[in-house]
Structure 1
Amino acid sequence: MLSIEPVVGDVINKLVNVTLLEAAYKIWQQYENESFPGSTNVDPYALFAFDATWSLIQSLQQLCLTTTNSSSSCISILNSSFCFDRRFLNDNSFFNTVTTTGFLGVSGPIHFSVNVTDRINGTYYLVQNVQPSVNGSDYIPVLDWSDPDDWTTYTKANVIVWPGTSLVTPTGNAQPSGVRLRIGVIAIYPFTIVTNVTDEFGNSTIKFIGYVPDLIDRLESNMGFIPEIMLAPSNKTYDALIQAVADGDYDMLVGDVTITASRSKIVDFSDSIFDNSLSIIVRRTANASPDLLGFLAPFSFKLWLTLLGVAIYGGIIICLLERKGNEAFQDRSIISSGAMSVWFSVGTILGYGADFHVATAAGRLFTIGLYMLSLILVATYTANLASDLTISKSQSVISGIDDIRKGKIPFGRIGIVVGSAVEQYYLREISDENRNYYSLKSQKEIYSKLLSGVIDAAISDTGLLQYATNQLYCNLTIVGEDFDKSAYGIVMPQQWLYKQDLDVNIISLQESGAIDNLTTIWFETSNCPDPSVISTSMGIEAMGGLFIIFEAISVLSLLLFLWTQRLSIKDYLLTSACRKKPSAQPDA
């Protein structure tokens, strides 16, 4: 890498005003010594600024000498309340004086001309070679230039190190400026969208919009070629289009063409114009049918039985520990005491306690154990229940490429576009060269066959599927992580004359963020609802079993109440019957 910058004359052994320079350094050190960096470290732009200032001083001095006999001062100013309206009265004379004043400055000879905005001599430049070093990069002078001389080798020139740490001078590359290029494009959303535009006279013309036309426009602006856009036939496979480039039908083919080793044997590819990978697309599945007893799923059947046993065991222990020392158990039968103990155990495990407190030290210690059990069980149950109910809302038949390999979907119901890089991947990685998939002719057929139920899944490029599921087909979705990372490249004939210049300009677009901007414009918008923000609230069906059990407990509670109050109810009914019985009265 080379850099060029202006320098002062003494850097390339040209004449400068050493006396003036030393006087300036002396004044600098006298009035502001702390800012003086040393004579070898003064920035050349500071010396240029000094010469510019000194030129104004010399010109003003010369102007005042020529206006000594004038009635007005040589530096008269037209005053105004607004500072920008103040004007130097002798501006024309001063300008003429500047153009005729010449002197030897600290950067070199200073002289100006009426028709030239810069100095007309004393201009020097230095070319430096940027070379890697231990501390980063060093700038090594290799060429110098002075007016009227041409570029010459710097007197202390070193060997030039070219990019790649090569000492061999690189050769120039051809540029397609003004050259007409036949550029093939593939009609596929959103890379190339074909539209018909009708003007005010009713004339219809075809217009291309999308990621690819925008990219071609930027390359045309930077490289200067004349594009001749040619729409590729829709009945040709990707492999056939690549062969057409090799046969010379196109100078470039721009589209969703994946760079592969097999294709690189017959054509060349540019640097990446789009980062690609593969994904799986399926139909959106309806929410799974809720299980009425789904709220029991967080714990296994054995664990529920264990909890029941622990509750009964806890009741027995509480009864043994508290029956004699706790007033709540006094004057109660063994059955009543046991029921109260089990009630205490269950209430504590559920985290809500009971309507009496333990009184003994042993009882309190055992209650701590129940509290610890409650803390872990309630937290675990809550977390597992939330997870199970959320997952059950939407489940696909497959979750990724591994399920495809395992045959969870019949291979004959997996769609693959024939003649594409996806087909090569499928044959190589999944079917061991067995063409057992459902053959598709185009990308668009993926969506139609999925929606009609002909296939259950398809593999295709992630970018295309994201656009389709975000913009066009909201009832289709991508499942699993993407895989088989790759890239799209511009296809060109092998040893194409302009390949190097094309790659340089593509890299320039990447570094400037233009490629990322195109990706944002054409791929990162959505007309479909984001499934990640759809409400995860549960319907009554998912908790139906819980309400059924609650109702059953309610009925049992009422029956128990009726049983315990059976004598009171019987007395009430008999009393009511007696009151309603009419008293017998004899006839008069």
Structure 2
Amino acid sequence: MRRQMRVIAGGFVIEVFEAAVKRLPYALPFEYFNYSSSDGKSTGSYDLLARQVADKKYDAVVADMTITSNRSEYVDFTLPYTVAGISMVVPIKNQRSKNAWIFVKPLTPDLWLVSLGFFVFTGSIIWVLEHRINPEFRGPPTNQIGTIFYFTFSTLVFAHRENIVSNLARLVVIIWVFVVLILQSSYTASLTSLLTVEQFEPSYTHISELKDNGERVGSPQEYAEALAKGSRNGGVAAIIDEIPYLKVFLKDHCDNYTMAGQTYKN
């Protein structure tokens, strides 16, 4: 009679299972068996494997089997030991701009308009408070308008030379200089970041974008090569798979690709 050889299993899932068995307060003897389809030759699907557990051909399954609603109808699962669900991996692109107009990007258009409005408003308030009692704010209309803009502009670099007489005007200047200090610090920090730090973002953030653009989606084989080619060159624009497999891929390719979009758990 031919003796069946003992199956020796290994891998991350097996190690998790055996570590859990060791923590049980009682002994749990077990033996591994290779899984094959009904013909005994080819490897069957996970759905079929779960069905064979329900039919009591196997007592339990130790595998990277995803907990799905249809499988849960006839078998029970242990608590998940890693994040479940499906997500996508896409190439990342460097958003660091090389445009000559990059100096306007640290602030949004709305913030630029608000800053300009306060710029004119502050100069007008100072002129209203000073022009009757301060000769430096008098003269022809064009000279007074120039003084308004020059004064507020010079406060941006803290170099205003006009003497302020009114205490109320001094209070306005103090508030405006404080605002300028905050605005200038924020602008400098943002511009420095844009010029020195690599600005990466996912090429796609939602599966619907892939559908709308008619992009191709990859399978588990040869992730990096397919993503490097791109959808237009016979490759793919994104890889959609279960999160544990994507994490394994990103462990070695995190410089060029990232996980993006929401996690689909159903």
TM band (smaller chain): 0.5 to 0.7
Q: 1:276: how far off?
A: 3.1
Select which of 139, 154, 161 maps to 1:347: 154
1:263 and 2:71 matched: yes
- In structure 2, the partner of 1:215 is 16
TM-score, normalised via structure 2 length:
0.66
1:269 aligns to what SS in structure 2?
A: coil
1:282 and 2:89 matched: yes
Letter in 2 for 1:225: P
| Contact residue 279 and residue 478 of structure 1 kept, 8 A | no
1:300 and 2:109 matched: yes
* Aligned pairs for 1:144-155 within 5 A: none
* Aligned pairs for 1:441-480 within 5 A: 443-444=220-221, 448-453=225-230, 454-471=235-252, 474-480=255-261
TM-score, normalised via structure 1 length:
0.34
1:255 aligns to what SS in structure 2?
A: coil
Q: 1:409: how far off?
A: 1.4
- In structure 1, the partner of 2:172 is 369
CA distance in 1, matches of 2:227, 2:253: 14
CA distance in 2, matches of 1:472, 1:307: 43
User: CA 1:216–1:281 in 2, change beyond 3 Å: closer, same or farther?
Assistant: same
1:409 aligns to what SS in structure 2?
A: helix
Q: 1:245: how far off?
A: 4.5
* Aligned pairs for 1:241-256 within 5 A: 241-243=49-51, 245=53, 250-256=58-64
CA distance in 1, matches of 2:81, 2:44: 22
Letter in 2 for 1:347: S
User: CA 1:280–1:385 in 2, change beyond 3 Å: closer, same or farther?
Assistant: farther
Q: 1:472: how far off?
A: 5.8
CA distance in 1, matches of 2:77, 2:236: 35
CA distance in 2, matches of 1:218, 1:319: 78
User: CA 1:352–1:237 in 2, change beyond 3 Å: closer, same or farther?
Assistant: farther
CA distance in 2, matches of 1:283, 1:385: 32
| Contact residue 280 and residue 460 of structure 1 kept, 8 A | yes
| Contact residue 86 and residue 264 of structure 2 kept, 8 A | yes
Letter in 1 for 2:79: S
Unaligned runs of 5+ in 2: none
How many residue pairs match? The answer is 245
- In structure 1, the partner of 2:209 is 408
CA distance in 2, matches of 1:409, 1:371: 53
1:261 aligns to what SS in structure 2?
A: coil
CA distance in 2, matches of 1:309, 1:275: 53
Cα deviation 1:496-547 (Å, max 9, x = unaligned): xxxxxxxxxxxxxxxxxxxxxxxxxxxxxxxxxxxxxxxxxxxxxxxxxxxx
Q: 1:470: how far off?
A: 1.9
Q: 1:358: how far off?
A: 0.8
1:396 and 2:202 matched: yes
CA distance in 1, matches of 2:20, 2:124: 85
| Contact residue 351 and residue 371 of structure 1 kept, 8 A | no
Unaligned runs of 5+ in 1: 1-179, 184-206, 416-437, 486-588
- In structure 2, the partner of 1:542 is none
Q: 1:310: how far off?
A: 5.1
CA distance in 2, matches of 1:320, 1:473: 59
User: CA 1:275–1:318 in 2, change beyond 3 Å: closer, same or farther?
Assistant: closer
- In structure 2, the partner of 1:156 is none
Quote the RMSD (CA, aligned, Å).
4.3
Letter in 1 for 2:227: L
- In structure 2, the partner of 1:136 is none
| Contact residue 285 and residue 394 of structure 1 kept, 8 A | yes
Letter in 1 for 2:182: A
Q: 1:450: how far off?
A: 3.2
CA distance in 2, matches of 1:451, 1:235: 31
* Aligned pairs for 1:51-450 within 5 A: 208-218=9-19, 223-230=27-34, 236-243=44-51, 245=53, 250-266=58-74, 268-272=75-79, 274-290=81-97, 291-297=99-105, 298-300=107-109, 304=112, 307-308=115-116, 311-312=119-120, 314-315=122-123, 318-319=126-127, 321-322=129-130, 325-326=133-134, 338-348=145-155, 350=156, 352-359=158-165, 361=166, 364-376=167-179, 379=182, 382-383=185-186, 393-399=199-205, 403-404=206-207, 407-410=208-211, 413=215, 415=217, 440=219, 443-444=220-221, 448-450=225-227
Greater RCO (CA < 8 Å, at least 6 residues apart)? 2
Letter in 2 for 1:479: A
User: CA 1:462–1:306 in 2, change beyond 3 Å: closer, same or farther?
Assistant: closer
Q: 1:288: how far off?
A: 1.6
Letter in 2 for 1:285: I
| Contact residue 397 and residue 408 of structure 1 kept, 8 A | no
User: CA 1:305–1:479 in 2, change beyond 3 Å: closer, same or farther?
Assistant: closer
Say which one has the larger Rg: 1
User: CA 1:394–1:373 in 2, change beyond 3 Å: closer, same or farther?
Assistant: same
2:241 aligns to what SS in structure 1?
A: strand
Q: 1:258: how far off?
A: 1.9
Cα deviation 1:88-139 (Å, max 9, x = unaligned): xxxxxxxxxxxxxxxxxxxxxxxxxxxxxxxxxxxxxxxxxxxxxxxxxxxx
Q: 1:289: how far off?
A: 4.8
More strand by share: 1
CA distance in 2, matches of 1:464, 1:345: 58
Cα deviation 1:423-473 (Å, max 9, x = unaligned): xxxxxxxxxxxxxxx6x4xx4455554344233223333233223212466
